Amino acid sequence: MTPHPIHEDEFQAWADGRLPAERQAQVESYLEQHPDTRARLQAYQAQNRALQSLFQPVLEEDIPEHLQELLRPAPLLRQRFLTWPWQSAAAVLLVLSGALAGWQAHTYLPSPSLAAALPRQAAIAHAVYTPEVRHPVEVGADQETHLAAWLSKRLGAPLRPPRLGAQGFELVGGRLLPGGQGPVALFMYQDGGGQRLTLYVSGEGSGSGDTSFRFSREGDVSVFYWVDGGFGYALSGTLDKASLGTIATQVYQQLEAR
């Protein structure tokens, strides 16, 4: 006679060979007397085996090129064939190459004038506008739709401020600035402690090649910047390099995801 009723969970565990030893004998003796239950559990075991056979070939397949390229990130940076959907793989590659190659990747990248001027312009804009108490931005985050539409129109491309709430920064708003040859959008973010970040977006990069993430320090201001798809981006702040880099990665990914 059975001291404990056998729970269905134990039948599942028996089928998977995971039943605790002390219950094994009791379940076995139950199954002796109930061949229909045994047949049912054996059917589950057959399912497990069949699923393993069915999908085993996937383990043996060659890893697709775009995933495999994660293995050799640096050479890809020289190539300009990056088109959707491989751009998001490139996001990883850029980060990987930066981390792995010790930021040396940029030595063989094109060095357009935008990329050269970007960190300095961005750091100046950051230094000028972030101390503002009453007028840090022209259009506040409460009018985010208007802000995005306005700046998109002026820069001639759809533009939406990334969301950095997960990193502790909320959008304050944005403004339009004069760049070297045209308009620039500046988005400002602030965390709970009043620390501010700015994202500088310039549309002047149409003649420039894409670049990897680069880092520059302009006085007290740290800047991560990159050129992608004709736009120059620069994230500026007085955070430490690692924290700013994490947020820059997030910005990059959100922009790429569009």
Partner 1 sequence: MEEAPLLAEIPRLRRYARALVGDRAAADDLVQDTLERAWSRRRSWQDDRPLRPWLFSIMHNLRLDQLRRPGIAPQPLDERIPEPGTRPTQSDALELADLAAALYRLPEEQRAVILLVALEDMSYDAIAQTLAIPRGTVMSRLFRGREHLRRLMAPESGVTHLRVVP
User: How near is the Cβ of 197 to partner 1 at its closest, in Å?
Assistant: 17
H or E segment at 147? helix 144-155
User: How near is the Cβ of 254 to partner 1 at its closest, in Å?
Assistant: 11
Give the separation between CA 224 and CA 217, rounded to whole angstroms. 9
Q: Tell me which of 66, 120, 154, 163 binds partner 1, using CB under 8 A.
A: 66
Residues 6 or more apart whose Cβ sits within 8 Å of residue 40: 11
Give the separation between CA 162 and CA 252, rounded to whole angstroms. 9
Give the separation between CA 228 and CA 244, rounded to whole angstroms. 19
What are the residue ranges of helices labelled H in 4-62? 8-15, 21-33, 35-60
55 binds partner 1 (CB under 8 A): yes
Total interface residues for partner 1 by CB under 8 A: 49
Residue among 184, 156, 185 nearest 171 (CA): 185
**Contact in structure between 209 and 113 (CB atoms under 8 Å):** no
Residues 6 or more apart whose Cβ sits within 8 Å of residue 252: 91, 94, 213, 226, 228, 233
Q: Which stretch binds partner 1 (CB under 8 A): 61-69, 132-140, 156-164, 194-202?
A: 61-69
**Nearer CB in complex with partner 1: 86/149:** 86
Q: Tell me which of 64, 102, 193, 207 binds partner 1, using CB under 8 A.
A: 64
Site string for partner 1, 69-98 (x = CB under 8 A): -xx-------------x--xx-xx--xx--
Site string for partner 1, 237-256 (x = CB under 8 A): -----x---x--xx--x---
Which parts of this chain interact with partner 1 (CB under 8 A)?
2, 5-9, 11-13, 15-16, 18, 34, 36-37, 40, 43-44, 47-48, 50-55, 57-59, 61, 63-64, 66-67, 70-71, 85, 88-89, 91-92, 95-96, 100, 242, 246, 249-250, 253
